[in-house]
Amino acid sequence: MTIYEIDEAILGCIDMETGEVIDLDRLNELEMKREQKISNVACWYKDLIAEADAIKAEEQNLNRRRKVCENKAESLKNWLAYVLNGNKFEDSRNKISYRRSESVAFAEGFDIESLPEQFKKITVEPKKTEIKNFLKTGATIDGCSVQEKLSIQIK
């Protein structure tokens, strides 16, 4: 269901599964006024953005609910570990056992910088905003430039 009445001829140019324009030539050649075509496509765009926002809100709601369930489950698992204190348990519906595992623990206040380089993971990412501001002052960085683009705004 859409907020706006979208012309069926326009809808026929779009793959409804992927959202891709499957027949750009047909869309360009539709027998309707240019303004009407642009208005229909813009309304459809706004409708899709509204639907995407609704889906995003529902994802956030489901994510909160999932985290609550995970927290409850973890709490119950911790209680079982406390009560069983390393002992196995089995009945007709459940089997609880333990396995040994190893992990690295750091002492409180441990300085990660003191680790040898071979044990550090380093991620380097460009600070694009700072680079852009630096380049706009007239300075240069090999391989970097500021590109101007047009960004469409649909309201």
Q: Each residue of 83-123: pLDDT tens digit?
A: 999 999 999 999 999 999 999 999 999 999 899 999 999 89
Please state, as a whole number, how many other Cβ atoms lie within 10 Å of the Cβ of residue 40. Answer: 19
pLDDT of residue 3: 47
Q: Which residue has the tokens 């709490």?
A: 75
pLDDT over 50 at 68, yes or no: yes
pLDDT of residue 82: 95
Q: What is the pLDDT of residues 125-148, one digit of tens each?
A: 999 999 999 999 999 999 999 999
Q: Which residues of 53-80 are buried (b: 16+ CB within 10 A; e: fewer)?
A: eeeeeeeeeeeeeeeeeeeeeeeeeeee
Q: What is the pLDDT of residues 6-28, one digit of tens each?
A: 566 666 666 667 767 656 666 66
128 closest CA partner among 112, 115, 147: 147
